[in-house]
C-alpha cells in the first residue's frame, strides 16, 4: 500500500472543458497547477472541437458522469481548492453547484466563461442564468472579465454594484480582469466583501493568446490551495500568468499558447 511518509501536495480539483489544442480548459488547468507545485485532478465537463483560432463545437459531458468522478475523487483525496471553468450546459452548472454546496469548506474559484477569444459563444442565456442563480453562491472567488460581468448582470453599469450583488449571493471576492478592455496597461481589480479594493496594472502584451483566463483562474486556485490569503494569491497568480503570456509560444496557426 501507499507510503504514509510520502510527501504530499495541495490537490486542486478542476471542473473544466477539454480543448484538443491544449491551450485552454483542462490542459491549461493541469499545467498551471503543476507549475505552482500543486496536483490537479481533472474532471471534464465538456468536450470541445477547437483549434488555436476558435471553438467550433461544444458537447457537454453527462451530469451523472461528472458527479461520479467528483464523488470518487473527493472520497479518496483531500482537496484544497476547486477551479470551475466551462460547465458545458446549464444543467451541468446546476448539478456542479449542488455538489459544491455539500462541501462549503473547500474554496471554489469560478471563471464564468461566456465567449472564447475567437468569438464562439460558450455560455448562452440559460447558462448565464444558472451561473448567476446557482454557481456564484457556492463560489469563493469569481474571476470575470468585463464582458462576462456585464453578461451576468446586464443593466448594472458600475462593476462595484455588480460585485455587491455577487457578495450578496454569498461569494466574497471578485477579481475583475481588464484584458478584454484593450487598454494599456491592463488593469485588474480585486474587490472583496470586506471592502478590499486592489488595482493591479500589467503592461499589455502585444499578441493574442489562447487560454489566458484559464491560466489565471487555475493558478489562483493553486495559490489559494497553497494557503495564501486571497490578495496575495491574486498577486502571485497574476504575476505567474503575465510571465506565461510574456513567454508564450506558437503551436498552431491561431493564437499563442501561454508558456505554463
Ligand atoms: N475552450 C475551453 C475548454 C475553455 O475553457 C475556454 C475558456 O475558458 C476556451 C476554450 C476559450 O479560451 P480562450 O478565450 O482563451 O481562447
Q: DSSP letter string over 188-257?
A: EEEEETTS-EEEEEEPPPSS-BSSHHHHHHHHHHHHHHTT--HHHHHHHHHHHHHHHHHT-B--SSSSBB
Grid coordinates representing 220?
489562483
Distance 1 CA to ligand 1 centre (A): 39
pLDDT digits (tens, 9 = 90+) for 112-126: 999 999 999 999 999
Is 1's pLDDT higher than 80? no
pLDDT band at 191 (very low <50, low <70, confident <90, very high): very high
Q: What pLDDT sits at residue 127? A: 96
E strand residue ranges, 85-229: 108-110, 141-142, 173-176, 186-192, 197-202
Pocket test for ligand 1, best of 57, 59, 117, 122 (most atoms within 8 A of CB): 122
Q: In the predicted model, what is the mean pLDDT of the chain? A: 97
pLDDT band at 4 (very low <50, low <70, confident <90, very high): confident
Residue 113 parent element (H or E):
none
Q: What percent of the chain has pLDDT over 70?
A: 99
For residues 82 and 108, the answer to whether their CB atoms sit within 8 Å is yes
pLDDT digits (tens, 9 = 90+) for 43-73: 999 999 999 999 999 999 999 999 999 999 9
Is 155's pLDDT higher than 80? yes
Cα separation, 142 vs 112, in Å, equals: 7
Cβ(86) – ligand 1 distance below 6 Å:
yes
Q: What pLDDT sits at residue 3? A: 86
Amino acid at each position: 500500500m501507499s507510503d504514509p511518509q510520502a510527501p504530499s501536495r495541495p490537490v486542486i480539483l478542476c471542473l473544466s472543458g477539454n480543448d484538443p489544442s491544449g491551450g485552454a480548459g483542462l490542459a491549461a488547468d493541469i499545467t498551471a497547477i503543476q507549475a505552482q507545485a500543486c496536483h490537479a485532478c481533472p474532471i471534464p465537463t465538456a468536450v470541445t472541437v477547437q483549434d488555436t483560432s476558435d471553438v467550433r463545437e461544444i458537447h457537454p459531458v453527462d451530469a451523472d458522469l461528472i458527479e461520479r468522478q467528483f464523488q470518487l475523487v473527493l472520497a479518496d483525496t483531500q482537496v484544497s481548492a476547486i477551479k470551475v471553468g466551462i460547465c458545458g450546459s446549464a444543467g451541468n452548472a446546476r448539478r456542479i453547484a449542488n455538489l459544491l454546496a455539500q462541501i462549503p469548506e473547500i474554496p471554489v474559484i469560478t471563471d464564468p466563461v461566456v465567449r472564447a477569444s475567437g468569438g464562439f459563444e460558450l455560455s448562452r442565456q440559460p447558462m448565464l442564468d444558472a451561473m448567476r442563480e446557482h454557481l456564484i453562491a457556492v463560489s469563493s472567488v469569481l474571476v470575470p472579465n468585463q464582458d462576462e460581468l456585464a453578461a451576468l448582470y446586464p443593466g448594472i453599469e458600475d462593476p462595484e454594484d455588480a460585485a455587491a450583488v455577487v457578495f450578496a449571493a454569498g461569494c466574497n471576492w471578485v477579481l475583475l480582469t481588464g484584458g478584454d478592455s484593450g487598454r494599456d496597461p491592463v488593469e485588474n481589480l480585486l474587490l472583496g466583501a470586506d471592502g478590499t479594493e486592489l488595482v493591479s496594472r500589467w503592461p499589455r502584451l502585444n499578441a493574442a493568446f489562447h487560454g489566458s483566463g484559464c491560466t489565471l483562474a487555475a493558478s489562483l486556485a493553486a495559490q489559494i490551495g497553497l494557503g495564501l490569503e486571497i490578495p496575495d494569491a491574486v498577486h502571485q497568480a497574476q504575476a505567474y500568468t503575465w510571465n506565461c503570456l510574456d513567454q508564450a509560444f506558437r503551436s498552431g496557426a491561431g493564437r499563442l499558447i501561454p508558456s505554463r
